[in-house]
């Protein structure tokens, strides 16, 4: 599942890990310059749509508090 939200591309997919179980792999990338806000995986059983909605909240939080995400 790939969606655009407030200038970010949110990509969420479920794939089988090498160990045989399913993981959710996700990334949130700023479209203007390709900067990754997050890029990781989860072993949860969430529905992809619900997981993508949670990532929208991450984008909202970043836009409201960008200094919290500085390295």
Predicted confidence at residue 44, as pLDDT, reads: 82
For residue range 12-61, list pLDDT tens digits in order.
999 999 999 999 999 999 999 999 999 999 998 899 999 999 999 999 99
Which pTM does this prediction carry? 0.90
How distant, in Å, are the alpha carbons of 15, 21, 64, 65, 69 from that of 28?
17, 23, 16, 16, 13
Domain locations along the chain: 2-69
Q: Collect all residues with Cβ–Cβ distance below 8 Å to 46 and sequence separation of at least 6.
A: 24, 54
Residue 71, pLDDT above cutoff 90:
no
């Amino acid at each position: 599942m790939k969606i655009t939200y407030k200038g970010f591309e949110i990509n969420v997919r479920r794939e089988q890990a090498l160990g045989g179980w399913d993981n959710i792999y996700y990334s949130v990338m700023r479209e203007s310059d390709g900067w990754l806000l997050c890029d990781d995986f989860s072993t949860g059983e969430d529905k992809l749509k619900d997981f993508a909605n949670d990532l929208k909240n991450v984008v909202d939080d970043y836009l409201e508090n960008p200094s919290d995400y500085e390295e």
